Structure 1
Amino acid sequence: MPFKHNAARRHRIRKMKFKVTNWRDYEAGLRQRGSLTFWMTPDALDKWHAPRRDTRGGQRRYSDFAIETALTLGCIFHLRLRQIEGFLRSVLDLLGLQLPVPDHTTLSRRAQKWERPAAGSMQSMPDGPIHVLIDSTGLKIYGAGQWLEARHGTRSRRNWRKLHLAVNANNGDIVAETLTDQNTDDSSQVEPLLNQIDGEIGQVTADGAYDGKPTYRAVLEHSDTANIVIPPRSTAVGSNGDTGPPADQRDKHIAAIAKDGRLKWQATTGYGKRSLVETAIGRYKGLIGRRLRARSFPAQQTEVAIGCIVLNRMLACARSNSVRCQEKHA
């Protein structure tokens, strides 16, 4: 909104400059992200084989940890299942470890049954309430689609998936994620996202697509003291006599925008931090990819969950601390 508001005079506005205060550690962390160093701890070796089952059925050869390790390597190096099998086999041979490597059919089958980490295990929750940022984006899936239309002029229905993310505004970590089809409404995923977060929520910020009673109710059911910052639509009106926290908070936003304008409302409520979730989306598409490699929907959900875990680990490896430089006036 500020960019659109100042578009006519953007060329006259100086670009803000920031200085990284921990440049030496940040640079070392960026180099560490590309390191091929690979080691297996004794605890990891013990977890490689599946535990002995005491119920009826076949005995699994590989544990969930082994499957997750293989899929994580494939996510980091953008490998398909057969390449994951060959890469992991060569790494174990270089380490001199006599461990079995799951084949590509096993990885494909087990990826559809992989269980995501329990709530709160994907991130380190700080003390006190957190500020949660929510947004969604589209990811392409396998299919001819645009190629058929460009090559043969054939009209094809291009399908894609919608990735919903919840980001901690304090450190940029992804604290929750869901993957749905392209027809799923954004506000319907607020409750599943918040259910994955362990800890107190102080504020939830989202864009205007989440404006409505379902979003307010989902947030307040999870934390009745949470502050909700969602810009009302340009045609929004008051609650017409409705009472309660959802109507009260939204009415305050409508009144503040009508009195002082949308830009001042954004500065007062801290709505500008919502750009951090867009940064996380850009980081996901840049490092993990814009396209889902898995074919089945359960395997695609596994791919996205592991990709978010990988991003958090990369961010923890190299995190910059920057401060805004003070402008010198003549």
Structure 2
Amino acid sequence: MPFKVNKDRRHKIPRQRHRVTNWPAYEAGLRSRGSLTVWFTEDAIEGWRAAPRTTRGGQPSYSDLAIATALTLRAVFHLALRQTEGLIASILQLLGIDLAVPDHTTLSRRAETLEVPRPCGGQAPVHLLVDSTGLKFCGPGEWLTEKHGTRRRRSWRKLHLATDADTGRIVASVLTGHDADDGGQVGPLLERVDGPVASLTADGAYDRDDVHAEIMARHPEAEIIVPPRSSAVPSASARATPTARDRHLQIIAERGRMGWQRASGYNWRALVEADVSRWKRVIGDGLRSQTDGRQATEVAIAAEVLNRMLDLGRPEYVRIA
């Protein structure tokens, strides 16, 4: 990124300024993000009760749509399970709808196996932007560490995201342990992407042979935009059959790192960092669930929440300075 290349004189680089050109529509979308009518639709009311099962076992009282609706409200308004139960009960009472309310134990149990639909992809090839971040979920917090000097570190997990550069939507997400490497999750992310991939852009942590091989095996026509390491050298077949990495090294040798970033479109990777920041500000920087299955459901619902909010209104802006 430019600020990394110019880190020795970063204090002299002025901050970019932008002006939103569709402010009335974007402001209306921001207000709609807090409206209950957005999340409690007629489809949720009609499909609230579960369909009778044809196999042996107890009959479920609530459909997957009802559980997903409750967990969505929980993610949007940062509620505990009991408070989510109370919020849904009050909404149904205000609407005058005679529906049963799932209790907090039902929500917790069903979240373990709930299947959240994947984001729908179009037929056009997508330009993927990949990055990862950490999410805290248990252990002593910052206050306890500072107050009592405990050395036990807070546990956390790593969230891997793949977003569409054109729409800003999260098209795939993977939750792993904190010791999982970024490059090893390219395959699982691509498995969750429906449709063709035109390009994949990531930072230098993904400059690995297995990452390139994984992308080429699934999407041979995809362009790989990953900055080579500072110590990278061309491959043995660079002159006869240059790889994508060899071509990147050639452009860097001719134009420098900044010239390569502009020519390759690597600077668009800042959009996935903006999505990570949006996740932390809207959803939070932690996980409320304790088991792997519930955490996976929590992450999938959070990604769907951010995509819905983005559909309500997205800013269009131009640079003014």
- When normalised by structure 2's length, the TM-score is 0.93
Out of 172, 181, 184, the residue aligned to residue 185 of structure 1 is: 181
2:208 maps to what in 1? 212
For the 8 Å contact 1:85–1:104, the answer to whether it is kept is: yes
- Could you say which residue in structure 2 is the equivalent of 1:33? 33
**Counterpart-to-counterpart distance in 1, 2:95 and 2:270:** 43
Match of 1:69 in 2: 69
CA distance in 2, matches of 1:314, 1:219: 30
What's the CA shift string for 1:60-83, capped at 9, x where partnerless?
111111100000000000001111
Matches within 5 A, 1:72-83: 72-83=72-83
Q: Matched residue pairs, number?
A: 321
RMSD across aligned C-alpha pairs, in angstroms?
A: 2.1
Aligned to 2:279: 284
Give 1:111's aligned residue.
111
Shift in Å, 1:17: 2.9
Contact 1:75 1:307 survives alignment (8 Å): yes
Deviations 1:7-32 (A, max 9, x none): 44445444433222212111111122
Distance 2:239 2:147 in 1: 57
C-alpha distance in structure 2 between counterparts of 1:302 and 1:103, whole Å: 18
Contact 2:261 2:267 in 1 (8 A): yes
- CA contact under 8 A between 1:130 and 1:201: conserved in structure 2? yes
* Contact persistence 1:123–1:174 (CA under 8 A): no
The equivalences for 1:1-330 within 5 A come to: 1-37=1-37, 41-118=41-118, 122-125=119-122, 127-144=123-140, 146-241=142-237, 248-325=243-320
Q: What is the TM-score with the length of structure 1 in the denominator? A: 0.91
Q: Distance in 2 between matches of 1:19 and 1:210?
A: 34
- For residues 182 and 191 of structure 1, the distance between their equivalents in structure 2, rounded to whole angstroms, comes to 18
What do the CA deviations read for 1:208-251 (whole angstroms, capped 9, x no partner)? 01110121112112211000000111111222348998x61111
Q: 2 CA distance for matches of 1:23 and 1:44?
A: 31
* 1:187-224 Cα deviation digits (max 9, x unpaired): 11111111111122111000001110121112112211
Cα distance per residue 1:104-157 (max 9 Å; x no partner): 111111101111314xxx1453x5322100000000012225454333333214
Unaligned runs of 5+ in 2: none
CA contact (8 A) 2:32 2:38 kept: no
